[in-house]
Structure 1
Amino acid sequence: MTLVLSTRNPGKLREFEALLAPTGCIIRSLDAFPGAPDVDENCDTLDGNAAKKAEIIMEFTGYPTLADDTGLEVHALDGAPGVWSARWAGPECTPADNRKKLLSALQEIPDRRARFRTVIALATPDGTTFHEGVCDGQITIREQGNLGFGYDALFRPDGHEKTFAQMDAPVKNAISHRGRALQALLSALETNPELRSQIT
């Protein structure tokens, strides 16, 4: 079976391929579909962004499509940056710009609690389902590690001494928000024959 992943991010593609390996699915990114549109993530919720990306790309490719949206929710910042995590420092910002803004926002704040939350949408011709994963942790006082992407170098999950950017992929995938959302998806596919039949 083939699933399309609504991304051109090679790091994200590798994560999904590793985590979905037990299903035997072939995972294709947007790079496999010339002319695939770039979907604007302009919804006010993670669910909305994930559904929009999955449904538009499913219509374009004709294949069941996965899309995710992730937000970093910082307790002391009332849940910011949240749904705006990818472009928190501005519409043309880089991940480094976002990390710099986060460190600046928390410079004098001792409460470093945060959580990553991922929503995965699976769009099929029969509808869209949602699968969520959360990982609680702390924001570090400086960047640590050079693996991963986004805010990974600033996020240390609870119960661990390393940031996501210091962890090998198998370790990170086992505990990450995206890994947990994918586990929720896998569980749904295993326990819901009707849902599984929509992608086979």
Structure 2
Amino acid sequence: MKLCFATNNAHKLEEIQDLLGDSFLLTTLREIGCDEEIPETHDTIPENSFEKAEYVWKNYNINCFADDSGLEVDALNGEPGVHSAYYGGPERDANANMDMLLKNMEGKENLTARFICVITLFLDGEYRQFDGVIEGSISMEKRGSQGFGYNPIFIPEGHNRTFAEMTMQEKSELSHRGRAFEKLKQYLLSL
């Protein structure tokens, strides 16, 4: 099955192709000719996921899915949340985002946090959503070099390593994105 994954993030594409396996051929926004920045105008992760997938379906008439995810930190009242990608500035720089988060966490005792992912699938004009959550805590120092985003400062519950210290396979088995995409995969395989 061929699907457009509404992203141009090469790291995400590689991770998701690995999760979904050979039964699915993923294309990117660039490959379908979509060079514009897809809007994310909502205050929640599910709404932004829907908005991106709907945009691709309406403008390109291609079966597609979009994900939106975020890191919610309890001591920061759920921040960065829906603003995770540009928490440290409009450049969407992972190091700036982590630096801002660690600065805002200074002096905080509660390190609990969670990653949330919501995927919206548009298939022949109908949509469904799938979600995944992983609880964990914030590491007050960056550790590891695998993955992307906040991986160097997120320690999944029950583990003592950050996502960035794990292999892609280890992370995929635990991650919010892995959990949401497993639900998507099972749904697609059931069709």
Q: TM-score range by the shorter chain?
A: over 0.9
Letter of the 1:14 partner, please give it.
E
Residues 1:116 and 2:115 aligned together: yes
Q: Identity of paired residues, percent?
A: 37
1:47 CA displacement: 1.0
Q: Which residue of 1 aligns with 2:68?
A: 69
Unmatched 5+ stretches in structure 1: none
CA–CA distance in structure 2, aligned partners of residues 96 and 82 of structure 1 = 17
Match of 1:102 in 2: 101
SS at structure 1 position matched to 2:4: strand
Q: Distance in 2 between matches of 1:90 and 1:35?
A: 24
- Quickly say closer, same or farther: Cα 1:14–1:110, change in 2 above 3 A: same
**1:44-63 mapped onto 2 (5 Å cutoff):** 44-63=43-62
Distance of 2:34 and 2:187 partners within structure 1: 32
Query: Normalization by structure 1: what TM-score?
Result: 0.90
Structure 1 position 184 matched with structure 2 position 179 = no
Does structure 2 conserve the Cα–Cα contact (< 8 Å) formed by 1:37 and 1:57?
no
**In the alignment, residue 131 of structure 1 is paired with which amino acid?**
F
Query: Pairwise CA RMSD of aligned residues?
Result: 1.4
User: 1:46·1:83 contact (CA, 8 Å) conserved in 2?
Assistant: yes
Unaligned regions of 5+ residues in structure 2, if any?
none
Q: Matches of 1:46 and 1:139 in 2, distance apart?
A: 20
CA distance in 1 between partners of 2:18 and 2:64 (Å): 17
TM-score, length-scaled by structure 2 = 0.94
Q: What is the rounded CA distance, in whole Å, between the counterparts of 1:6 and 1:152 in structure 2?
A: 21
Deviations 1:18-58 (A, max 9, x none): 11116x01011112123443202121111111111111112
Q: Tell me the secondary structure at the aligned position of residue 21 of structure 2.
A: helix
Q: What SS does the aligned partner of 2:66 have?
A: strand
Aligned to 2:162: 163
1:8 to 1:82, Cα distance in 2 relative to 1, 3 A: same
Distance 2:41 2:160 in 1: 35
Distance in 2, matches of 1:70 and 1:141, equals 21
Match of 1:27 in 2: 26
Between the aligned partners of 1:42 and 1:158, the Cα distance in structure 2 is 31
Q: Aligned equivalents of 2:138 and 2:34: distance in 1?
A: 38
Does 1:92 pair with 2:55? no
Please name the residue that 1:82 is paired with: 81
Number of the residue aligned with 1:13: 13
| CA positional deviation for 1:91 | 2.3
Runs of 4+ in 1 over 6 A off after TM superposition: none
Q: Report the number of matched residues.
A: 191
